[in-house]
Amino acid sequence: MSALLLLFTCLLLGALVARFAKPPSGIVHGINWWVINIALPALVLELMPRVKIDAQLWFPVAAMWVVFFGAWLLFATLGRWLGWSRERVGALTLVCGLGNTSFMGYPMMQALHGKEGLALAVVADQLGCFPLLSSAGVAVASWYAGKSPQPAVIARRILSFPAFLALVVGVIAGALGGWPAWADDVFVPIGATLTPLALFSVGLQFKFHLRPGQRSALVLGLGWKLALAPLAAWLLGRAAGVGGLTLTVGVLQAAMAPMISAAILADEHRLEPALANTILGAGIVLSLATVPLANLLLGG
């Protein structure tokens, strides 16, 4: 409970600062830069050598694919039935197909399942959700905005991402026996800044502005992201014989709130940004209750 209270406190502080304290311009960009380029790679470098490679490790990655491509299929179908615009279908696919598996996922998995759960959350994020954002996510955004995705740009974006490079280095370090104690003494405190700063940044960006005609899209989008998507991931895991903490973390990562970067991508491509940001804000708040509830249902 104390760990979950920390998440809520940091989120609330960010929202209060944004509302009452008039923070300096560019503060969100600066915090996100530190989190993405410094804290996240340090955390990955600390955790990856500790990940135990087993036959079930594919599941947290596959669960992210189920969430994204399930969202695409669902909202493309609903879009035809309900007469939605291309922009709405694209926005819902992005924000409800990509989860906040790092900024929200890492702190919540650490709070619920400790370092072992956090290590599995890194696998789901860095091998599942992030490559999806950088490849299929960019392709979907470009397609529904009437543009053509550029494969070379997508590949360069993935291969040069600091956390992805840290993932490769961490796997090599693990194969060689892990880091010396002094290296962990550096990685641990730097990586520990991710949780408070990430949630504070989310609070700073929190928005909820529902326009007329968007309520059904909001309900359907969050219904998939917070309920049906984790259910689909759980069914996949059970059918494949996955169990234990690997199943739990994979399902919980599938149940995470919408990804902030996905909403930004929708905004950059003019894919109904008001709806994307409303789903993002509502999903973050609701996930603070739905993810712990899902954890209880899974026996966590």
Residues 44, 234 contacting (CB under 8 angstroms): no
Strand partners, 71: none
**Which residue, chain included where needed, has tokens 């800044």?**
193
Q: What is the pLDDT of residues 211-225, one digit of tens each?
A: 677 889 999 999 999
16 against 171, higher pLDDT: 16
Provide the whole-model pTM: 0.79
Least confident of 31-35, 119-123, 154-158, 267-271: 154-158
pLDDT of 1 over the 70 cut:
no
Can you tell me the mean pLDDT for 161-189? 86
* Confidence band, pLDDT 50/70/90 cuts, at residue 66: very high
Burial (0-12, 13-18, 19+ Cβ within 10 Å), 178: middle
Distance CA 287, CA 104 (A): 9
What pLDDT score does 47 carry?
79
Nearest by Cα to 224 from 112, 45, 92, 123? 92
Q: What is the pLDDT of residues 246-290, one digit of tens each?
A: 999 999 999 999 987 788 788 778 888 888 888 888 898 899 899
* Confidence band, pLDDT 50/70/90 cuts, at residue 3: low
* Confidence band, pLDDT 50/70/90 cuts, at residue 131: confident
Share of the chain above pLDDT 90, in %: 36
